Amino acid sequence: MRITETPRTATPDDAASISRSLAPAFDDDPMMCWFFPDEGSRQALLRRYFATLFTRQYVHTAVCERTADAAAFWVPPKAQAKAVPDAATVRELTELLGDRAELFGRTVEEVGRHAAQEPHWYLALIGADPVAQGQGQGAALLRSGLAQADAAGLPVHLESSKAANLGLYQHFGFTVREELKLPDGGPTLWAMRRDPRPPRPARADG
């Protein structure tokens, strides 16, 4: 039976659960495999990586939602200037990434140079534990954030480094606006955009 859970706002207390869901979700993501190439340590490092981003950055500035096995971090326009990692976050990430830290920094800079300049909502991250595949948890989170952007009358931007996900995003109205080849032999990154959709007219009674 298909189970779709209603998204709820994530709190700092959800950090461990969220990181346990996101780590396996990104285990085969080309960018995460590039940053954390050792398969034996990747899951543990990814759990720490996502917990750090969530607790030190996104939970304070973004719209963070979760279900039992999935999470999404959305950054509205008013929060985008504050969504840059502070010095303490950078230190933690540098420790996690080890000799890949410099590569990570160059990648962030390159992506930043291609960032959208128009007012928009930004889908920083979305993922669901593969054990929940087919339950609709990721789709529920995606619809929730898109509805908030639509209510504000604003487009949504994201970047995907996994070609297999492009069809899903296109199903929800996204189109590829730019294809980026990351530096130092990194994977391809697809920058995508979705126009806002007008609210559905209210149904008449009777």
Model pTM above 0.85: yes
What's the rounded Cα separation, in Å, for the pair 23 and 167? 22
> Under a CB-based contact definition with an 8 Å cutoff, are residues 180 and 111 in contact?
yes
- Assess if residue 2 is contained within a domain: no
Percentage of residues in the chain having pLDDT higher than 90: 71
Task: Quote the CA–CA distance of 3 and 136 in Å, as a whole number.
Answer: 6
Is residue 200 domain-resident? no
* Rounded Cα distance, 171 and 185, in Å: 30
Which pLDDT score is estimated for 4?
55
- Contacts of 146 by beta carbon, 8 Å cutoff, 6+ apart: 156, 172, 173, 194, 197
pLDDT at 203 over 70: no
Examine residue 205 and state whether it is found in any structural domain, yes or no: no
The CATH code of the domain that includes 163 is: 3.40.630.30
**Is 96 inside a domain boundary?**
yes
Q: Is the pLDDT of residue 2 over 90?
A: no
Query: Containing domain of residue 50, as a range?
Result: 8-194
User: Does 151 reside within a domain?
Assistant: yes
Residue 134 has pLDDT above 60, yes or no: yes
Contact 186, 151 (CB under 8 A): no
Within-domain flag for 203: no
For the chain, the domain total comes to 1
> pLDDT band at residue 5, thresholds of 50, 70 and 90?
confident
Q: Does residue 80 form part of some domain?
A: yes
108 confidence band (pLDDT: 50, 70, 90) = confident
In a domain, 33, yes or no: yes
Contact 18, 71 (CB under 8 A): yes
Reported as a pLDDT band with limits 50, 70 and 90, residue 204 is low
Q: Which two tokens stand for residue 3?
A: 């189970």
122-135 mean pLDDT: 92
The model's confidence at residue 83, banded by pLDDT at 50, 70 and 90, is low
Report how far apart, in Å, the C-alpha atoms of 151 and of each of 143, 146, 181 are: 12, 9, 33
